[in-house]
Amino acid sequence: MKRNLRIFIALAVFYIIVALFALILLGGKSSVFNRDRKSYGAKPAALTQTVIGESAEVAEPAATEPTGDVTDVTTTVQEPEPAESEPEQAEPEPAEPAPEPEPEPEPEPEPEVFEIRYFSFRTTNTQPDLRFRTGPSEDASVITKLFPGTGGYITEPGNEWCKVVSNSGREGYLSTRYLAVTELTEETFPVDFIDMVEAPTEELTAPQFTTLLKDGSETEPAEGDALTEPSAAGDGTADTETAAQ
């Protein structure tokens, strides 16, 4: 009985000593309950925050000045950036109507080509003063003057003027209205003048060519009615007061 009492007293003394020692440790400055942010080995607490939805970056806690024994922890949560909205599509501008194609210019008609025709002629003037000129114009100079019934050959027919040649080979122009025209064939046209003949540059509509005397249908001229080229007077006019073309 005495032995158990001694053991109980020894254990009580041991626990009392341990308790006193623990109180000393806890009451000192080195106790974990008395530590602040300036204490050796103290670390700021990190507060984590979970954001549902888009990911958010948690910034490092900002350093704050200690206030007493309580550690203030400030947590900065970066707000998520708003998602970039798609740019509104601009309404397409109405397309300009396509320009109407310009009408193609009508091609110029090709000049009509007339065939070569062969003619002889006889003058129909009533006075011996038909002017035989150097060109198809009343302003052209006069080569000579012809008597009525003078004959020859046409080398270039025309409705107003005809280029003609005399039997002697003299070329000039006579007014068509003073000519009686006979159409010949190429075989009956004089060989000496056949290379001088040119095609007309216009459609022959003068009465002299629309009411032709066919080859051999007219009366053969008298011997004195062949191509006659009277000499012009000194002043360039015939010996008559009335002048023909």
Write out pLDDT tens, residues 55-83.
545 445 555 555 544 445 455 556 666 66
Cβ contacts of residue 51 below 8 Å, gap of 6+?
A: 77, 80
Q: Give the mean pLDDT of 5-24.
A: 83
pLDDT band at residue 239 under the 50/70/90 scheme = very low
pTM of the model: 0.48
Q: Give the mean pLDDT of 36-43.
A: 57
At 79 the pLDDT is 65
* pLDDT tens for each residue of 106-125: 887 777 888 999 999 999 99
Domain boundaries, the chain: 2-34, 40-77, 118-225
At 107 the pLDDT is 81
Alpha-carbon distance of 204 to 198, in angstroms, equals 13
Percent of the chain with pLDDT strictly greater than 70: 59
Let me know: does 227 contact 130? Beta carbons within 8 Å. no
Residue 132: is it exposed, middle or buried by C-beta count within 10 angstroms (0-12/13-18/19+)? buried
At 38 the pLDDT is 58
At 1 the pLDDT is 64
Residue 144: is it exposed, middle or buried by C-beta count within 10 angstroms (0-12/13-18/19+)? middle
At 224 the pLDDT is 33
What CATH number was assigned to the domain covering residues 118-225? Answer: 2.30.30.40
Let me know: does 157 contact 119? Beta carbons within 8 Å. yes
Cβ contacts of residue 154 below 8 Å, gap of 6+?
A: 118, 119, 120, 121, 162, 163, 164, 179, 181, 197
Percent of the chain with pLDDT strictly greater than 90: 33
Neighbours of 121 (CB within 10 A): 22
Residue 220 has pLDDT above 90, yes or no: no
* pLDDT tens for each residue of 142-182: 999 999 999 999 999 999 999 999 888 889 999 999 999 99
Residue 225 has pLDDT above 50, yes or no: no
At 166 the pLDDT is 86
C-alpha pair distances (Å), 127 with each of 57, 140, 208, 225: 128, 20, 20, 14
At 193 the pLDDT is 93
Q: Give the mean pLDDT of 27-49.
A: 57
